[in-house]
Structure 1
Amino acid sequence: MPADTNPYGGVFGGWLMSQMALAAGSLASRVGRGKAVVVSATDFAFPGAMAVGDELSVYCEVLATGNTSLTIAAESVARERNGEATVKVAGGTFKFVLLDEDDRPRTAVLPGKVST
């Protein structure tokens, strides 16, 4: 929306990052089977421009699993509003820590994994 634009009329990079964090957080909660919070965001690049009204898709993949954390890559692709043309508009990496019911870090017990 127009409120999410930078002074040059393009979509603000901070808005893109927040959408990516939401998507990556959804994957972290699903894979980690519980509460997951962002502790860092790195390696961000904005190779393309997104216009107001474009459709945004965010694709995420778990890159690494730590004792209490998940590292997730996120890629954002914009599709023009009235067509099929797409462009990669952002990419970056998020690290999440899995939390227990007392908001303390908990061991990552993931589907298909056996904890030791």
Structure 2
Amino acid sequence: MNQLDRLPPHREPVLRIQPKPADVNMHGDIFGGWIMAQVDMAAGIVAARRAKGRVATVAVNQFVFKHPVFVGDLLSLYADVIRVGRTSITIEVEVFAERGIPDTQVFRVTEATLTFVAVGEDRRPRPVPEP
């Protein structure tokens, strides 16, 4: 971990969460699946806002773990719409970890791209409305 990052200026995270001891894998790092679940939630919030309703995850297009996450890190998840199709919405998520007090360091720990489909009450695809 030789490169420090900065939290995106003038942006609010979609989610902010702190992993707990129950979230570690056998090596003491936060379990990758736990991070994936947080990313899916953050992306789903942004996709549902854009779709103006229910969405379902249809693809995890890319998921890159750049640095380990530890118990006590404060994770900030930022998500943006990068593509809108007829029924689909693609979201890019960046996860930053704030580590250490009082000398806080910031690391970009995960980047991911997910695709969602807008679904109706019948849970079948529906068109994404205009913004």
**TM-score using structure 2 length:** 0.81
Task: Determine which of 107, 116, 131 is the counterpart of 1:96.
Answer: 116
Which residue of structure 1 lines up, in the alignment, with residue 58 of structure 2?
39
Which residue of structure 2 lines up, in the alignment, with residue 86 of structure 1?
106
Which residue of structure 1 lines up, in the alignment, with residue 94 of structure 2?
75
Tell me by how many angstroms 1:60 deviates: 0.6
Tell me by how many angstroms 1:25 deviates: 0.3
Task: Determine which of 8, 11, 23 is the counterpart of 2:42.
Answer: 23
Work out whether residues 33 and 110 of structure 1, in 8 Å CA contact, stay in contact via their aligned partners in 2. Answer: no
Tell me by how many angstroms 1:6 deviates: 1.3
Which residue of structure 2 lines up, in the alignment, with residue 108 of structure 1?
128
Which residue of structure 1 lines up, in the alignment, with residue 16 of structure 2?
none
Q: What is the identity, as a one-letter code, of the residue corresponding to 2:82?
A: L
Work out whether residues 38 and 94 of structure 1, in 8 Å CA contact, stay in contact via their aligned partners in 2. Answer: yes
Unaligned residue ranges in structure 2 (runs of 5+): 1-19
Which residue of structure 2 lines up, in the alignment, with residue 55 of structure 1?
74
For this pair of structures, how many residues does the alignment match? 111
Unaligned residue ranges in structure 1 (runs of 5+): 112-116
For the residue of structure 2 that corresponds to 1:107, the secondary structure is coil
- Superposed CA deviations along residues 18-57 of structure 1, whole A, max 9, x for unmatched, are 0010000000111110001101112111111111011111
**TM-score using structure 1 length:** 0.91
Tell me by how many angstroms 1:17 deviates: 0.8
Work out whether residues 36 and 99 of structure 1, in 8 Å CA contact, stay in contact via their aligned partners in 2. Answer: yes
CA distance in 2, matches of 1:7, 1:65: 39
CA distance in 1, matches of 2:67, 2:93: 15
Task: Go from structure 1 to structure 2 and tell me whether the alpha carbon gap of 1:36 and 1:81 turns closer, same or farther (over 3 Å shift).
Answer: farther
| Percent of aligned pairs with the same amino acid | 40
